[in-house]
DNA sequence: CTTACTGCAAATATTTTGCATTTGG
DNA sequence: CCAAATGCAAAATATTTGCAGTAAG
């Protein structure tokens, strides 16, 4: 039920910067927001979890620290999304899934069978991007892009 | 906020059959279900509306007849989906969107700006289908496929 | 007749909101 | 200090479930 290609911890230091304090503080202040411990914790949780629902983020944050109220988590995710550090995708079922914006260079392949989320490089969608642009003047948002289907495991007898 | 290519009423008589009673009754009975007026009404609403949320289906059904309870609508959508007459897609925001299975030969292009849903033939996804199959053994479910992006209107200055 | 189906109301689950208190800058 | 952010509890939504009465076959 979790990602195969585990980002987990910052691929190349990008995510680390976001949470180290500096970048986060700057970004927040530019938009008129303040830096609070809760916001740092929530961003850290999003980065660490890779893909996660608000509920999972709540749980993760409770665990890691004094606890952040659920409503604060929701409000914080909004703020972090506004300043572009976090993005969300609808993977289907119920809740939206959040991930660090830095970690967005992939599309999500969601298996309808087992729910696994496979990350594929954005490049796989290039042909489709071209087709849609040409035929419909539709600009595909590859980041916010969830693709449904069946993974090898679930397709093969197993 | 509605589809551009309006299916609305049965493209080639296919959908008509589904609601005319015969096919619906047969399909239901084969799976051990009964034919009820409510089920006919809900299916009719799904066919007529093209894409619709449970809420919209409720509204449509109330209007057309004596009224069907919301919980019955939810239960009926499940049943209709089980017997393959209806399918649902997650278009993002909140509620899932239902449509007649017959009406499924297209992918949904969802504009993040204005929310419009454009129907494109499944063919547009063929290159992607091939790529994913080859590279990930991932079998794309083109039917259950919602694609996010920005439509011409919202992209162009307007 | 028998069993499935429906309506209703209560239960869940999820996200939002109002407000008093706390706190960042 | 002052505005913004938090926590909490209540509200708003959306969907599910238990149950007794109704109806399909």
Per DSSP, which regions of chain B are E strands? 86-89, 97-100, 106-111, 117-121, 139-140, 146-150
Collapsing DSSP states into helix, strand and coil, what is residue B121? strand
> B118 and B64, same structural domain?
no
> B139 and B78, same structural domain?
no
Which CATH number does the domain housing residue B128 bear? Answer: 3.30.1490.190
B8 lies in a domain?
A: no
Instruction: Give the Cβ contact number of residue B55 at 10 Å.
Output: 12
> A31 and A94, same structural domain?
yes
Which CATH number does the domain housing residue B40 bear? Answer: 1.10.10.10
A139 lies in a domain?
A: yes
pLDDT tens readout for residues A100-120: 987 667 888 888 777 778 888
d(CA B149, CA B124): 15
> B82 and B24, same structural domain?
yes
- B134 CA to centre of own chain: 29
> B19 and B42, same structural domain?
yes
> A41 and A29, same structural domain?
yes
> Domain count of chain A?
2
> B34 and B95, same structural domain?
yes
Task: Find all residues with CB under 8 Å of B19, minimum gap 6, and list them.
Answer: B40, B43, B44, B47
Please, what is the average pLDDT of chain B?
81
Instruction: Give the Cβ contact number of residue B56 at 10 Å.
Output: 16
A23 lies in a domain?
A: yes
Taking only residues 23 to 82 of chain A, the set having a beta carbon closer than 8 angstroms to any beta carbon of chain B reads none
Q: How many Å does it take to go from CA B42 to C1' C3?
A: 22
Q: Which long-range contacts (CB under 8 A, 24 or more apart) does A130-134 make?
A: A131/B124, A131/B127, A132/B109, A132/B120, A132/B124, A132/B147, A132/B149
Residue among B95, B118, B153 at smallest CA distance from B3: B118
pTM tops 0.85, yes or no: no
> A73 and A18, same structural domain?
yes
Angle, alpha carbons A112-A117-A120 (nearest 5°) = 115
Q: Are A120 and B127 a contacting pair at CB < 8 A?
A: no
Q: What are phi and psi of A124, to 5 degrees?
A: -60, -25
Q: In the beta sheet, which residues pair with residue A109?
A: A118, A147
Q: Are A140 and B127 a contacting pair at CB < 8 A?
A: no
d(CA B87, CA B46): 10
Q: Which of A79, A102, A125 is the last residue of a domain?
A: A102
> A84 and A21, same structural domain?
yes
pLDDT tens readout for residues B82-123: 999 998 887 766 678 899 987 767 888 888 777 778 888 888
> A34 and A109, same structural domain?
no
Q: Which domain holds residue A138?
A: 104-156
Instruction: Give the Cβ contact number of residue B113 at 10 Å.
Output: 12
Give residue numbers, 57 to 116 of A, with CB < 7 Å from strand D. 66-69, 71-72, 75-76, 79
pLDDT tens readout for residues B26-72: 999 999 999 999 999 999 999 999 889 999 999 999 887 678 999 99
A7 lies in a domain?
A: no
> B95 and B26, same structural domain?
yes
A8 lies in a domain?
A: no
């Amino acid at each position: 039920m979790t990602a195969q290609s585990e980002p987990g911890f910052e691929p190349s230091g990008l995510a680390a910067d976001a949470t180290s304090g500096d970048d986060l503080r700057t970004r927040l202040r530019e938009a008129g927001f303040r830096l609070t411990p809760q916001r740092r914790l929530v961003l850290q949780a999003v980065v660490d979890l890779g893909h996660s629902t608000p509920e999972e983020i709540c749980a993760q944050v409770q665990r890691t620290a004094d606890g952040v109220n659920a409503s604060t988590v929701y409000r914080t995710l909004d703020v972090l999304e506004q300043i572009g550090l976090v993005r969300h995708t609808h993977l289907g079922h119920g809740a939206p899934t959040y991930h660090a914006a830095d970690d967005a260079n992939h599309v999500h392949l969601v298996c309808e069978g087992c729910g696994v989320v496979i990350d594929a490089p954005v490049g796989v969608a290039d042909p489709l991007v071209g087709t849609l642009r040409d035929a419909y003047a539709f600009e595909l948002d590859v980041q916010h892009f969830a693709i449904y289907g069946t993974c090898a495991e679930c397709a093969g007898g197993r």
